Amino acid sequence: MVTAVRHLGPNWYASVMGTAIVATAGAGLPLHLPGLRTACTAVWALSLAMLLALLAARTLHWTHHRDQARAHLLDPAMAPFYGCLAMALLAVGGGTLVVGRDWIGLRAAVALDAVLFGAGTLIGLTAAVAVPYLMAVRHHVHPAQATPVWLLPVVAPMVSAALGPLLVPHLPAGQPRETLLLACFAMFGLSLLATLLMLPLVFARLVTGGPLPLALTPTLFLVLGPLGQSTTAVGKFAEFAPGVVPAADAQAFSLLAVLYGVPVMGFALLWLGLATAHVVRARRHGMRFTMTWWAFTFPVGTCVTGAESLSHHTGLAVCDGLAIALYGVLVAAWVTAAVHTVRGLLSGELLAGPRPAPVALRPVTARTT
């Protein structure tokens, strides 16, 4: 077991995020299908079990393979995935209040979410500072190396912003509630502005440098994360602001939910089409399964919750249809990634170390006499 986790990187937390969002997004659908909520609760329970197992495995990794753990921190391709740890904690915690309370009770759900939200937010804010710092002073990256993976550490506070309002009603009335809500709004701004700094680098690399390597092509879907999650966040602010902040501020949050959410969701759909075209091209060129395929899940799930938020605040049937359609894409992506991951675990391929490069043979010169 100790040897098996040597190459277990923080990118594995993406599978927890992708599983948890299936439960959270499904519970908010404008549908009343028999058994849907029970199924979502079961998926949440699976995400919780995955989180606990992965935390234990990563603890073994840090305890017995510190050299490899440090190498991950100094690897510009792997270090940004430390944002996934924060988002995994937050996603499972948010799912606890949305559906998990059906099985464990409201009091236990609030306590568990409070712990996971606090830990996830602290780790997310740390990653949002530490990873860009390492990129600047230790990684020595070049513009041609820019990928959507760079967004991961700065998106984590946006997940806190979107899920933190769920805890607002469970705090004492007055300043505690208002403080948490406005702190989430501050993290919304922090993450949004940081994303606006990173995204042009990614888009410029894509346009000037050509398509990403096949294995990294699915990461184009990561751009949907801050778009869908920020739309979800402003919707949550509008939902929980009444009675917490002054009436004028609550009204402003309601306006922001629509005036911000609609255009950003429009851009998300544009990017979804662009990313899908790149993935189709990569698949035709032989793209095989890697753990980057989990990028098809959580970012799409945030667009589902964003569409659900717009449906709530606009009452438009088209938003209902968009949420349902995107949820179908999410479930299909989750099933595909989960099946391939299980196969890779059973075969041992996913936990194997990188293959050594083939040794080139020296050219043989025939002797002539």
Residue 300 has pLDDT above 90, yes or no: yes
User: Nearest-CA neighbor of 225 among 331, 310, 299?
Assistant: 299
Question: pLDDT for 250-295, tens place per residue?
Answer: 999 999 999 999 999 999 999 999 999 999 999 999 999 999 999 9
User: Nearest-CA neighbor of 85 among 125, 25, 143, 37?
Assistant: 125
Helix axes 261-284, 247-259, angle to 10 degrees: 30
Lowest-confidence segment of 272-281, 327-336, 348-357 by average pLDDT = 348-357
Indicate if the alpha-carbon torsion angle 48, 53, 56, 58 is positive or negative: negative
User: Nearest-CA neighbor of 183 among 97, 227, 117, 93?
Assistant: 117
Question: pLDDT for 38-48, tens place per residue?
Answer: 999 999 999 99
Rounded Cα–Cα distance for residues 283 and 86 (Å):
30
Name the strand (E) or helix (H) holding 81.
none
Question: pLDDT for 228-255, tens place per residue?
Answer: 999 999 999 999 999 999 999 999 999 9
Mean pLDDT of 118-145: 91
The pTM assigned to this predicted structure is 0.92
Rounded Cα–Cα distance for residues 93 and 112 (Å):
7
Q: What percent of the chain has pLDDT over 90?
A: 78
